[in-house]
Amino acid sequence: MATVKVTDETFGEVTGAEKAVLVDFWAEWCGPCKQIGPALEQISEELVDQLTVAKANIDDMQDTASSLGVRGVPTLMLFKEGKLLSMKVGAMPKQKIVDWLAESGVRAD
């Protein structure tokens, strides 16, 4: 499953799911956001049973980004059942993202 695009209107539906949701707050003009994009696509396919990866463009979702305190991009937020479990700011290699997810309880089978 590929990443899912979210909007201000669909954000609550996506993050309220029982399955864990990794939300990537990004921007078109952000170089580091583009760098981690392929890794997030791979993670979304590898952990399809445990995780949904959602992409949230901050230029289109200023209300949501502001309400969650997003101050820089990329910002990765991990939600489960509507609750924020963990957050990371800045680009990182795929393995670091996978390790962070595992520390937060999202593991590959």
The residues carrying an active-site annotation are 30, 33
- Cα separation values, 25 from 7, 95, 108, 109, Å: 11, 19, 23, 26
Q: Chain-centre distance of CA 98, in angstroms? A: 12
Phi first, then psi: what are they for 103, rounded to 5°? -65, -30
| Bridge partners for 51 per DSSP | 20
Gyration radius from the chain CA atoms: 12
